[in-house]
Structure 1
Amino acid sequence: MQLNDHLRKVMTSPLRLLSATREMRTTRPAELCGNAGIRHVIPERSDQVARRTARGSAGHRPPTFDKTTYRKRNVVERCFNRLKQWRDLATRYAKRASLYRASLVLTAAIIWLPWSAGQALVETRRDLVSANFLRFAGNFSGRSSDRGPRLAGMVPAYVPRHNHCMEDMNGTIRQNSLFTPEARENPTRLFHRIRAENPVTWVPELNAYLVTRHADIVAGMKDRRLANANMAQGLRRLSPAEQDELLPLRASIDMWMGHTNPADHVRFQQLLKRYFTRATVDALRPRVRELTHELLDAVAPQGRMDVVKDLAYPLPANVIAEMLGMPIRDRELLQAWSRDVLAVFQIASLARLRQCQRSIVEMQDYLRPLLAERRQRPREDVLGTFAAAEKDGLVTEDEIVANCVLLLFAGHETTAHLIANGLLLLFQNPEQLDLLKRKPELTPSAVEEMLRCDGPGGSVVRTTTEPVVIGDVPIAAHQIIYLAMVAGNRDPEVFDEPDRFDITRTPNRHTAFGMGASYCLGAALARMEADECFRILLDRFPDLRPVDATPDWQASSPFQHDLNTLRVEFTARD
């Protein structure tokens, strides 16, 4: 939400000043931070360096920070920068002879300052976490952080040879590395070992806690003391000038569902639930069937295809594009934009983040005329739902286009992963593939097992808003926690023979789409698209088989892996 939107509200009546100020401090504090990002990381003291050197190869202890000095300096700096933003805005209005607006801005700044100081304390702690993680990430593959980390082959330059117990403010907790050769080769085995030895562990590369037990993950997803982590945190590793350059990117991310405060997150979910109901999703089935047949018709005469390129990505992209009312001729733009947006969810170089920002701005500019058309001629689609909510004053135009960008990206990336990786699971378990061909009515159950074994959501990141206890481990406030669904979905306490792919498994209480307030809105849509896709694919090409013996995996994190390609062949048909 832009400042001008709030000022227009205030202009309607001076009595709305306090409510507008409250909305600004709850929905858009990050936009007012300006270049108040992290300046540097407090180095280790000499005695800490000596102890770490003495340990040698026994393990790696996360650096200790002089938190008191750091917080005092940064709280003052952050508050100063935020007040400077207000001052500059008031000055611009004063130059335009808008003295009334200028006085309102300055009054709001004075009211807002006490809360700003408290928020700065929280953000300072988050910066300590983000900076340490990203400083370590800069050493991936031995490359210097100023050149940007390399995504392919993400292996730390230094890896501890053994685990050891680290002592922190909460007591003693064992730590584990997720970036060892063992972890990259077989993350499932690593997660089994971590879950058995210490379900809540410390990961030095992430400077965060890792939760691997299913019961703890479910409890964490429901716990309101664990807040969603904002993806824009990673931008704070950049210099002040680079952060200023990427302000449009951060402004868009800050309005995404799951990256706002809980009240706004619920507000967006309530708006979209009107459209993502089961009845609405089921009404899309005939169109999904048509789109699937069209894509398979294009490759049938060739007798081969790349499932990732020719089916898994185009199908959900076409569906979400139609839901937003995008013309057919423009749908190829969506795939190009989405590849760029992916940089937000990875450790990306500045060049990739710049391209990501350009694509997000292009997507938002593309969507604004479509939204204007819905205002004039309402339709029963997502944009139409947003336009109606905007008319009721429930959402702004900037929030609409920002969240439509998120929907365009997440709406097809999730399903594309499910289709491609799910088909690979069938190839790797031929007896289950044969069973599914004989009994297509098992397709919904097969989709659930695909989600459990290799779902699109490998983990969710949370921050503690107050001290909590997870799995008998006390965790202080303002700590980063990774809830590893990829590990919890193979917990033997919940799933019999958890490493066996069984399309008849019941019950199947996986957490691939989250839970509670953060449950994925598009879960029903993704399930329906995958269900229709697998039914039609195996019916039309019963002799479908992989071309490559070894999967072509894309280098990614231990929590998730995606296929670059999945080449298959079948009997050609006209």
Structure 2
Amino acid sequence: MTTTSELKQGYYDSAPIADNRTTGWNYMRKPGSAYQAGDTYYLTSYDAVRYAQRNPEIFSSAKAFDAISAVVKLIPLAVDPPEHKRYRRILDPMLAPKMIDRIEDRLRDQVRELIDAFATTGRCDVVQDIALKFPTQAILTLFGLPLEDLQQFLDWVDALIGGAVAELAAPSEAQMTAALGLFGYLQTHIERKRANPGDDMLSDILSLSGDDAWEDSEVLGLGFLFVLAGLDTVTATIGFTMMNLAENEQLRRAIIADPDLIAPFIEESVRLELPAPLTPRITTEEVEVDGLTIPADSRVMLVLATANREPENSDHPDTIDIEDPVSHLSFGGGVHRCLGSHLARRELRLTIEEFHARITDYHIPEGFTPQVVFPGGTLHLDSLPLEFTVE
């Protein structure tokens, strides 16, 4: 372990993650499984991260998002047990794979239409042409909101998603302006769906009664969670998965020949190129982790990315192996495991399937090197141009 002031504030921001994730995450692991840098504590080993995830009464998610909760409480992320259990009991079945099945055909049509728009041109930008649009279309579809509102949603998302959640900071003026616009939009549709329910998740929530009934503020909090945590992460992951396929022809050919390999490929890609590599927590009491004493009310970062690449857990910790996928924590763990993980996996699978249905021979243009945006709230690519043979 490394303690006290041996490492300075900004240690994470100085990691060479943008240049090379293997080097960068080894840099974050080097001080130990639990250490302090400035006023932040980092847990980097699989066991240390899992310990924190399994003890939410000590490592609070709710307290970590106090600044955001002053504006809107992100349901259920910014709620700890026992209150949290009520939300997950209601929401988990609504986002189970069989429930995603009921919108799969619409999602497939949406991503197919995005791909058809450039399939005859011989080139595209995966981020701009697919990844920025499809996840927002998926959320609009899930909630039964008009797809015609896509651009307005994209504008709000662009304004809202920044470093505030990752840095536990209060929202900026621009974020507040976007938040008010989104508030008004969601409130309007909440009222419409209370009067005229549809076949969608938002209507299902609004139809709850008795002790399960939700107030409008809770519905707004859920909507904001999907915007802040469920859009840029999937956008980033689509970019990373397509980058991995474009850079590895052998891997791409294997997946095209056997679509059953898409699922393990997605797990491996998400394990290595997770867009949200750190999860914030605040301690509610003094706790010792791997010999390091962490005081109460301390900011703790669970470094999921280093836990995913732990050499003790795999003989290929830093490379993709679709024949031997490694378990990972990219979707979190414990009571706060990612609410939308099944939807995210479905979006990734549909993107790969529909892209390969039209385009199989593609590559990153000569002279272009994908640039990972870091530091920031989410690891992502701003651009991923591809050139391909028109089929």
1:466-513 alpha-carbon deviations (Å, 9 max, x no partner): 22221232222221111100111100011222111222223x210000
Match runs of 1:288-307 below 5 Å: 288-307=107-126
Of 543, 546, 554, the residue aligned with 2:361 is 543
User: Any conservation in 2 of the 1:426–1:432 contact (CA below 8 Å)?
Assistant: yes
Where does residue 136 of structure 2 map in the other structure?
317
Question: Tell me, which stretches of 5 or more residues in structure 2 are unaligned?
Answer: none
Of 310, 324, 328, the residue aligned with 1:491 is 310
1:370-392 alpha-carbon deviations (Å, 9 max, x no partner): 11222222223121122113675
1:227 partnered with 2:227: no
User: Any conservation in 2 of the 1:271–1:389 contact (CA below 8 Å)?
Assistant: no
1:118-164 alpha-carbon deviations (Å, 9 max, x no partner): xxxxxxxxxxxxxxxxxxxxxxxxxxxxxxxxxxxxxxxxxxxxxx9
User: Any conservation in 1 of the 2:74–2:224 contact (CA below 8 Å)?
Assistant: no
1:524 partnered with 2:356: no
User: Any conservation in 1 of the 2:232–2:378 contact (CA below 8 Å)?
Assistant: no
SS of residue paired to 2:382 = strand
User: Any conservation in 2 of the 1:165–1:175 contact (CA below 8 Å)?
Assistant: no
Where does residue 515 of structure 1 map in the other structure?
333
Q: Cα–Cα, structure 1 residues 510 and 348, in superposed 2: closer, same or farther, change >3 Å?
A: closer
SS of residue paired to 1:452 = helix
SS of residue paired to 1:542 = coil
Matched AA of 1:200: A
1:360 partnered with 2:194: no
Q: Cα–Cα, structure 1 residues 184 and 178, in superposed 2: closer, same or farther, change >3 Å?
A: farther
User: Any conservation in 2 of the 1:228–1:259 contact (CA below 8 Å)?
Assistant: yes
Q: In 2, Cα distance between the equivalents of 1:379 and 1:489?
A: 40
User: Any conservation in 2 of the 1:463–1:479 contact (CA below 8 Å)?
Assistant: yes
Q: In 2, Cα distance between the equivalents of 1:516 and 1:471?
A: 19
Q: Cα–Cα, structure 1 residues 330 and 285, in superposed 2: closer, same or farther, change >3 Å?
A: same
SS of residue paired to 1:284 = helix
SS of residue paired to 2:319 = coil
Q: In 1, Cα distance between the equivalents of 2:283 and 2:87?
A: 23
SS of residue paired to 2:36 = strand
User: Any conservation in 2 of the 1:229–1:461 contact (CA below 8 Å)?
Assistant: no
Where does residue 533 of structure 1 map in the other structure?
351
1:22-73 alpha-carbon deviations (Å, 9 max, x no partner): xxxxxxxxxxxxxxxxxxxxxxxxxxxxxxxxxxxxxxxxxxxxxxxxxxxx
**Structure ranking higher on relative contact order (CA contacts 8 Å, 6+ apart):** 2
- In the TM superposition, residue 571 of structure 1 has moved relative to its aligned partner by 2.5
User: Any conservation in 2 of the 1:367–1:401 contact (CA below 8 Å)?
Assistant: yes
1:77-115 alpha-carbon deviations (Å, 9 max, x no partner): xxxxxxxxxxxxxxxxxxxxxxxxxxxxxxxxxxxxxxx
1:276-324 alpha-carbon deviations (Å, 9 max, x no partner): 1121112222222211211111112222111111111211211110111
Residues paired across the two proteins, number: 387
Moved over 6 A (4+): 173-176
Match runs of 1:353-502 below 5 Å: 353-389=172-208, 394-502=213-321
User: Any conservation in 1 of the 2:286–2:295 contact (CA below 8 Å)?
Assistant: yes
More helix by share: 1
User: Any conservation in 2 of the 1:312–1:420 contact (CA below 8 Å)?
Assistant: yes
Q: Cα–Cα, structure 1 residues 190 and 546, in superposed 2: closer, same or farther, change >3 Å?
A: closer
Match runs of 1:170-249 below 5 Å: 177-180=11-14, 182=16, 185-186=19-20, 188-195=22-29, 197-204=31-38, 207-224=39-56, 225-228=58-61, 230=63
Match runs of 1:14-413 below 5 Å: 166-167=3-4, 177-180=11-14, 182=16, 185-186=19-20, 188-195=22-29, 197-204=31-38, 207-224=39-56, 225-228=58-61, 230=63, 250-343=69-162, 344-345=164-165, 353-389=172-208, 394-413=213-232
User: Any conservation in 2 of the 1:325–1:370 contact (CA below 8 Å)?
Assistant: no
Q: In 2, Cα distance between the equivalents of 1:182 and 1:338?
A: 27
Larger gyration radius, structure 1 or structure 2: 1
SS of residue paired to 1:499 = coil
- In the TM superposition, residue 267 of structure 1 has moved relative to its aligned partner by 2.6
TM-score of the two chains, using structure 2 as the length reference: 0.90
User: Any conservation in 2 of the 1:211–1:484 contact (CA below 8 Å)?
Assistant: yes
Q: In 1, Cα distance between the equivalents of 2:90 and 2:374?
A: 36
Q: In 2, Cα distance between the equivalents of 1:265 and 1:457?
A: 22
User: Any conservation in 1 of the 2:64–2:282 contact (CA below 8 Å)?
Assistant: no
Question: Tell me, which stretches of 5 or more residues in structure 1 are unaligned?
Answer: 1-163, 236-248
Q: In 1, Cα distance between the equivalents of 2:381 and 2:322?
A: 21
Q: In 1, Cα distance between the equivalents of 2:231 and 2:28?
A: 32
User: Any conservation in 1 of the 2:286–2:296 contact (CA below 8 Å)?
Assistant: yes
Q: Cα–Cα, structure 1 residues 187 and 209, in superposed 2: closer, same or farther, change >3 Å?
A: farther
RMSD of aligned residue pairs (Cα, Å) = 2.7
User: Any conservation in 2 of the 1:272–1:385 contact (CA below 8 Å)?
Assistant: no
Identity %: 23
Where does residue 564 of structure 1 map in the other structure?
382
TM-score of the two chains, using structure 1 as the length reference: 0.63
1:217-246 alpha-carbon deviations (Å, 9 max, x no partner): 11211113111155655x5xxxxxxxxxxx
